[in-house]
Structure 1
Amino acid sequence: MEEKKKALKAAFPHTIPVLTGFIVLGAAYGILMTEAGYSWVWTVLTCTFVFAGSMQFVSVGMLSLGFHPISAVLMTLMVNARHLFYGISMLQKFNSAGKLKLYLIFSLCDETFSILCTAHPPAGVSYKWFMFFIAVLDHLYWIMGGLLGSVLGSFLTFNTKGIDFVLTALFVVIFINQWKATKNHLPVIVGVGASLICLILFGPSNFLIPAMIVILLLITLLKKPMEKEELL
């Protein structure tokens, strides 16, 4: 129990930016769900068992049009294809997590991935429990935000157009936070550069998967130079 308490205490400060973002972002999702006619129960259930961020925003419209399994699968694959690459890069870390591995895989969202890439527990703190509590806290923030939005949405009536922009805003905040937290900016430059080139070549609707492939290849090729830069 003491081991878990230490890990939770060490993990919480790293999740504060996600807390502030997910409360707002989750609330936006909850409001959209209420506007679409779904009660807070459905919002909490989707936040708990789907936990797919941007895909949940897309799913609001899909649910309103009726459920089509094949379309849902293809759309989810397109929107969340980046998680394939997240998972590959997390294999080594998650393999050491034992029984916690399955939950870590399920809860690997963009924000949790970003934290796990740079955050390290202090001496004497279990790394697997440190990762677990980062994932759990981020998950809970999302559920809390969704519930808050559902409650507010049932009392307030206003134009929700553009409210999902908070997702983009959160990514920008996390990007800035990670830039400041690390000295080695080569991975960021590679990621941004590859994304821009693929955006130009493939267009806004088709650039994501090619960009992820290019980023993965470049990161693999530049692994040693990046590690040397980090040590300087």
Structure 2
Amino acid sequence: MKRFSSTTLKTAFVKSIPIFCSYVFVSMAYGMMMASAGFPWYDSLLVSLTVYTGAFQFVLITFLSSGASLITIALTALLMNSRQSFYSITFLKEFKQMGRRKLYMIHTMTDETYAVNCTLDLPKKEKEDTMFLVALFSRYYWIVGSVLGGILGQIIPFDLTGLDFCTTALFLIIFIDQWEKAEKHTLALSPL
């Protein structure tokens, strides 16, 4: 098993904190919604281990509850997650150098990990290790949050209104961080 330097571990952990802040609430909301739909906590775990895309996991609750066909589920997953293949294309050069970790990196590329990876300004090897650890930490956060949400959802009824804003807040934090680092803001203002 590969050992990572303490500096790389610390850097990756610190860089993953905004993802943690978003994922812990969103994944717990997912777990709670699974519980409110009648699924046990371990179904939240199983889905989070096999499907790593929050938006689709929320849609999957409805599909599983309504008995949707496997083809409907598969096509919806493909369409909803196709944008993430473009994220991976951006980092193909780095991923090719990562050996066996390449497939894991492609699988775990989310909006949030992409945003954090775009901010990394590190030497090549340290950047690859940091990217991998950010992906690993992020996936761990999502899985733990899903399970906690599933358990809490079975024990305590919750009003889930507003928890979906967590991801938007994460992007605002990353945007502000990039804004403060950039000399020109024309590109950032172009969508307005």
TM-score range relative to shorter protein: 0.7 to 0.9
- State how 1:187-226 maps to structure 2 within 5 Å: 187-189=187-189, 192=191
TM-score, normalised relative to structure 1 = 0.73
1:7 equivalenced with 2:8 (yes/no):
yes
The change in CA–CA distance for 1:8 and 1:86 in structure 2 (over 3 A counts) is same
Instruction: Give 2:158's aligned residue.
Output: 158
The alpha-carbon deviation at position 124 of structure 1 amounts to: 9.0
Instruction: Give 1:71's aligned residue.
Output: 72
The change in CA–CA distance for 1:174 and 1:44 in structure 2 (over 3 A counts) is farther
The alpha-carbon deviation at position 178 of structure 1 amounts to: 3.5
- State how 1:126-141 maps to structure 2 within 5 Å: 126-141=126-141
The change in CA–CA distance for 1:70 and 1:150 in structure 2 (over 3 A counts) is same
Q: Structure 1: how far apart are the matches of 2:152 and 2:181?
A: 35
1:18 equivalenced with 2:19 (yes/no):
yes
TM-score, normalised relative to structure 2 = 0.87
The change in CA–CA distance for 1:82 and 1:168 in structure 2 (over 3 A counts) is same
- State how 1:61-100 maps to structure 2 within 5 Å: 61-100=62-101
Q: Give the match's secondary structure for 1:103.
A: helix
Work out which structure has the larger RCO, using CA pairs closer than 8 Å and 6 or more positions apart in sequence: 2
Give % identity.
35
Q: Structure 1: how far apart are the matches of 2:12 and 2:18?
A: 12
Instruction: Give 1:56's aligned residue.
Output: 57
The change in CA–CA distance for 1:133 and 1:31 in structure 2 (over 3 A counts) is same
Instruction: Give 2:143's aligned residue.
Output: 143
Pairs aligned (count)? 191
Two-structure CA RMSD over aligned residues (Å): 2.3
1:105 equivalenced with 2:109 (yes/no):
no
Q: Structure 1: how far apart are the matches of 2:85 and 2:45?
A: 25
Which amino acid counterpart does residue 9 of structure 2 have in structure 1? L
Q: Structure 2: how far apart are the matches of 1:186 and 1:83?
A: 25
Question: Is the CA contact (8 Å cut-off) linking 1:24 and 1:166 kept in structure 2?
Answer: yes
The change in CA–CA distance for 1:88 and 1:185 in structure 2 (over 3 A counts) is farther
Instruction: Give 2:38's aligned residue.
Output: 37
The change in CA–CA distance for 1:103 and 1:56 in structure 2 (over 3 A counts) is same
The change in CA–CA distance for 1:187 and 1:39 in structure 2 (over 3 A counts) is farther
Q: Give the match's secondary structure for 2:100.
A: helix
The alpha-carbon deviation at position 50 of structure 1 amounts to: 0.5
Q: Which runs of 5+ in 1 are unaligned?
A: 194-232
Which amino acid counterpart does residue 111 of structure 1 have in structure 2? E
The alpha-carbon deviation at position 99 of structure 1 amounts to: 1.4
**Is the radius of gyration larger for structure 1 or structure 2?**
1
The alpha-carbon deviation at position 35 of structure 1 amounts to: 0.5
Which amino acid counterpart does residue 132 of structure 1 have in structure 2? F
Instruction: Give 1:212's aligned residue.
Output: none
The change in CA–CA distance for 1:142 and 1:125 in structure 2 (over 3 A counts) is same
Q: Structure 2: how far apart are the matches of 1:42 and 1:125?
A: 37
Q: Structure 2: how far apart are the matches of 1:3 and 1:162?
A: 38
Q: Structure 2: how far apart are the matches of 1:181 and 1:79?
A: 32
Structure 1 residues 35-72: Cα deviation after superposition (integer angstroms, max 9, x where no partner): 01111111112112201111111111111111312211
